[in-house]
Structure 1
Amino acid sequence: YRTEDGTAKAGKDYVETHGYIVFENNEARKTIPIGIVPEHCYERNVSLFVELGEPEEDNLVSNNIHHKREDELTVEEKVALEGRPRLGLVPRVQINIRESDEFKNTVDKLVQKRGASAVSVSTSSWGEQFAEAIRVNSEGGEGEEDGPAEAPSCGGYVLHILTIFWKILFAFVPPAEYCNGWLCFWSAITVIGVLTAVIGDVSSHLGCSVGVKDTVTAICLVAMGTSLPDTFASKVAAIQDATADNSVGNVTGSNAVNVFLGIGVAWSIAAIYHSWHGNQFIVPPGNLGFSVMVFCTEALFAIAVLLLRRSNYVGGELGGPVGIKYLTSAFMFGLWLIYLTLSTLEAYGVIGV
């Protein structure tokens, strides 16, 4: 017998096992021990496979029978061959590793006992928000269970310096404790809207200064500025969640909001305004049709890659072996470069449709 990786990986989720099961006379059941690596996860659902090989007889007499021709066998030897061990109809089984019910129930009871405020990730005052904005985050945990906090790394200091302006800016947003979080929600939406408008205007002026068309600026600078937060959100979801649903769904969901809600609401308001004044709201399509065609074509390739990654060798849409992981990242990055190149060439009239 031997174990085989599924979504569970040897060394990370379980201990790889292989060997032989020896059945003595009158024995009909044996147990294969498989070590499970504890992770103390609140949610866990991975699987592995156990495969049985062809049975072997540890009997010199039986081995001699196998070397004889059928016409040389006696009646007793024929009966012995009929009773030799054979592999059953199900030589391969799947084993699911689930989270510990005791551990999960313990966490649920602690949360229920202490209340939601004990596990709240929000702050309760402006002072706490500004303190967190100025303070460099440490590498380790701060609680007793996480051990002593480690000193911030050099990369942590660099990121803190680069983002301290935005941290302080968003520290002015009212804490979530006020008005049941609604004040925080609408304030954050307002700040995000203002920043989006600033990014769009700055990118447009930058493109005008260096002689780049607005369509190229939109798919380069503006798109990167609006998509980087979604990228980091997907990264956090990929690390913390047991499945890739939230990570991949965040990409499609954020783009749906940008297209249907962001553009739709703005265009609806503009159309109503122009109609109220007796005018028509007309937006030239430009190279939108070509860009959408290229995007949809590359989206089919991206979806095909996600489906291929569901094979047993990889195990899922995200992660997997290091080589496959970096190869997939390079492929997706290449799709973006192809889209950017083709759309830019079409915008400048180098290629025609």
Structure 2
Amino acid sequence: MPKIQPVTPVILSGGSGTRLWPVSRTAQPKQFIGLTAPQTMFELTLARVAGLADAQTPLVVANAAHADIIRAQGGPDITVILEPCARNTAPAIALAAMALEEQDSAMLVMPSDHVITDVAAFHAAIERARPLVAEGWLVTFGIEPDAPETGFGYIALGEELAEGVRKVSRFIEKPPLDRAKTMLAQGGHVWNAGIFLFSARAFLDALAIYQPNMLAAARQSMAEAERDGKVIRPSEAAFALCASDSIDYAVMERGEKVACVPVAMGWSDVGSWDALYDLADRDADGNAVQGAAQAIEANGCLIRSDGPHVTVVGGQNLIVIATGDEILILPRGRSQEVRKAVAAMKQRKGET
């Protein structure tokens, strides 16, 4: 039986977080802000792997512009790979895999800005996956759905490989509502959480088959990297040659040995202000009030201010977000339209 590898958490922190504008900005995106707890999303991500069995010191792949924030919130022990430019998740994970290739660690790849409230269930799911990882399987974690959500991709589950582990039948793009309802009724489908577990070598072997040009560019970038203690700065010229592609498209949807562990672990990608409202503590009138804010005769509102004191009187199902220089107001249920406000802000400021 293959040896079970130790697990190195690989935390991806390259996102800009504009869906939670105006609190989340390019200079300080949502993973570095305390949105659901006093700790930041990044700090919570580090905390949830602290008690994992055989866990090694985390490795973070981050936007080079956030190097100081990463070090301040992550501490001195973590290794940080600073992406010289954005190329999506597959090249970012390739950099981490190369850093861990020699020891052939099992890589627990996860975003830095998700919520998992049942950490014990998460750890148990990881333990179910580890024997298959030792056999060269690429494992993803699927969230057991409780609604016909159209904002997530889905995974169709195939045959059982081990207790609590299924082979992936296929990946499904974000579906229209009628198809989401059908999949929920059928069962055997889970949300794609974007969390993975595989050995460094297995992932690089898959890249060699499916994305050889990406692999070559990433290898050249790491070969030419500047290293300063635990900080690695890959070559921008080489890394820029990588195709910008997600791990799902580049590898997971093509691989032969791809498995999924379905799990209910209180997961949210906190991808919108509506999602944050669902996670927040609410009063008897359904209001979630945070920071310098208050609600009077209001119902079903998310009111947050990090700047001026905000009072909402008589509001119904509103999202009201205030910072020192911007205020966002929109109806609950339409928070994905924050992109319109971001576009207007950029036009107003003459940004591209």
TM-score scaled by structure 2?
0.19
Larger Rg, first or second structure (1 or 2): 1
